[in-house]
Structure 1
Amino acid sequence: MNQSVGKALKLLQYFSLERPKLSLAEIAKMSGLSKPTAYRFLKALEEEGFITRSSLAHEDRLYQLGLRLLALGNLVQEQIEVRKLALPHMARLRDELDEVIHLVVRERREAVYVERVETDRPMRLFTRIGLRTPLYAGSGPRLLFAYMRREEQEEMLRQLTLAPYTDATITDASELRQVLHEIRERGYSVSYGEYVTGTLGISAPIRDHTEKVIASLTIAIPGDTFQPEKTEHLIKRIRETAKDISRECGSMYMN
């Protein structure tokens, strides 16, 4: 990590329940930084919403944690909760289908794999917990892309560079827009070899109590073991399991 970034972020740890507000002098003393340096770091954190300050005179200003941290904390809490609720369902589905099951969430312009349950069979799959991938390639990420707010989705479609990862990656914005529409219409996503050659993915949405899609549940199958005649059954089971998890998250959505 860049040293200046690290020093700036370290200032956040000096705030606590006992000391929710701190002066510049206090922060400089606790961090061992000079006042001008501490002020420069605090100003950068304030510009990004991580720190806020009172409107008192300069020497009397008190700093406190900003609302940006609340938003990030809520996102982390949501991810922890959905992982905890989803894991038993994922394990049961894995046992039933003997396939790898993933849980994927969106973080800004990327998809993040936050949970995975393995099979006993030796399998060559690229995924791992913590993996970040583009939203437009692969069934799980693309499902999350499909359920974004329309305005945000359109803005991203205009700005994205659709780089090919394999020969099957969709790189045309108009085609991708149509695929995203179809995913919302039918309620699930299917892809084959779009991020890594030879991997099939089938995904369904997980919703929270506000009916917002917060994650995608994905079956990942190596192409050399996939049996096309089982496709409808796999779609049915991934959707049913995603709905079961959604109900535990407070959703009443039934379609």
Structure 2
Amino acid sequence: MPKISSKQNSVKIALSDTGVASVDKALGILRLFHSDAPELSLMQIAERTGLYKSTALRMLASLESALLVIKKMDGKYALGPTIASLYAAYQHQQSLEAIVMPILNKLMRITHESAAFHVRQGDKRLCLYRVDSNQALRDHIKVGDLLPIDKGAGGKVLRAFEGSKDKASAQIRKDMVLAITGDRVKEISGISAPVFNAEGLVGVITLTMPTYRFNPKMAATIKSNAKALTELLGGQFQAQV
């Protein structure tokens, strides 16, 4: 194996001057670790970030608390187990995208309406994937947008299959699809169905359109595609009563 030059290992990482300063410094430290530098001493970290050793030590203490780094017996630092779990989540998302996006593209081609895949994030729902309608009038939700969990077809379906006890949720679990008009925004309507993997609920696929183009007959198309996506992910798509 060729020897890695000390000059290559001494390249400094530029710290961001935007955002929260302490977070930027901590992230700058994480960026120092790579295949050629899996372990670093406090001195090396301070030199390569330009931080005082006392500042670097405080950042490392926070990273250790989150198990993003660990301190070894020889005093050097290495990446911690949280990095592995984050990478596993990243790999899962990448593989999920490869399965979800063809379904969303097909839905848009069939219906000419916007199709999206939403997941729960905290007390909201996140638009994880989306294919925009090719029609001029459509809603303008983007990937990464957070939406209410208690409004809109997608939010109501997520809550229903997470165990919400109200009568409307029970009906959603029985029907396996929900089509509603003007719930989140008066001018926008939606149709949504749940998606499962072998472990349970993953998210929902949702079709959105201006209310004047709302067609409840599209519910059957959304439901059948949610079933197909569920089967691709190894889950079971069946009514819950």
- Which TM-score band applies after superposition, normalised by the shorter structure? 0.7 to 0.9
2:88 is aligned with 1:70: no
The aligned residue for residue 206 of structure 1 is 195
Note the C-alpha offset of 1:43.
Answer: 1.1
Cα distance in 1 for partners of 2:53, 2:146 equals 38
CA contact (8 A) 2:177 2:194 kept: yes
One-letter amino acid matched to 2:233: C
One-letter amino acid matched to 1:235: A
**Which residues in structure 2 correspond to 1:8-47 (within 5 Å)?**
8-47=26-65
- Over residues 85-140 of structure 1, what are the superposed CA-to-partner deviations in whole Å (9 max), with x where a residue is unaligned? 12222222222222211111233333221222233321131311221123222222
Task: Give 3-state SS (helix, strand or coil) of 1:5's partner.
Answer: helix
The aligned residue for residue 3 of structure 2 is none
Share of identical aligned residues, percent? 27
Cα distance in 1 for partners of 2:48, 2:173 equals 52
The aligned residue for residue 232 of structure 2 is 248
CA contact (8 A) 1:20 1:64 kept: yes
One-letter amino acid matched to 1:120: N
Name structure 2 gaps, 5 residues minimum: 1-18
Cα distance in 2 for partners of 1:75, 1:48 equals 16
CA contact (8 A) 1:190 1:201 kept: yes
CA contact (8 A) 2:154 2:204 kept: yes
Aligned pairs, number = 220
Task: Select the residue among 184, 201, 204 that pairs with 1:195.
Answer: 184
One-letter amino acid matched to 1:240: S
CA contact (8 A) 2:116 2:130 kept: yes
Higher relative contact order (CA 8 A, sep 6+): 1
**Which residues in structure 2 correspond to 1:53-64 (within 5 Å)?**
53-54=71-72, 56=73, 60-64=74-78
CA contact (8 A) 1:53 1:63 kept: yes
Task: Select the residue among 184, 199, 214 that pairs with 1:226.
Answer: 214
Task: Give 3-state SS (helix, strand or coil) of 1:15's partner.
Answer: coil
One-letter amino acid matched to 2:29: L
TM-score, length-scaled by structure 2: 0.79
Task: Give 3-state SS (helix, strand or coil) of 1:77's partner.
Answer: helix
One-letter amino acid matched to 2:154: G
Cα distance in 1 for partners of 2:81, 2:169 equals 32
**Which residues in structure 2 correspond to 1:69-108 (within 5 Å)?**
69-108=83-122
Cα distance in 2 for partners of 1:147, 1:203 equals 12
**Which residues in structure 2 correspond to 1:116-131 (within 5 Å)?**
116-131=130-145
TM-score, length-scaled by structure 1: 0.75
Note the C-alpha offset of 1:217.
Answer: 0.7
2:175 is aligned with 1:186: yes
CA contact (8 A) 2:181 2:189 kept: yes
Q: Residues 248 and 2 (structure 1 numbering): CA distance in 2 closer, same or farther, change over 3 Å? A: same
More helix by share: 1
- Over residues 58-105 of structure 1, what are the superposed CA-to-partner deviations in whole Å (9 max), with x where a residue is unaligned? xx3232223333333333332222222122222222222222111112
Note the C-alpha offset of 1:225.
Answer: 1.7
CA contact (8 A) 1:126 1:196 kept: no
One-letter amino acid matched to 2:184: Y
Cα distance in 2 for partners of 1:10, 1:53 equals 17
CA contact (8 A) 1:83 1:103 kept: no
CA contact (8 A) 1:205 1:216 kept: yes
Cα distance in 2 for partners of 1:178, 1:14 equals 53
CA contact (8 A) 2:196 2:237 kept: no
* Greater C-alpha radius of gyration: 2
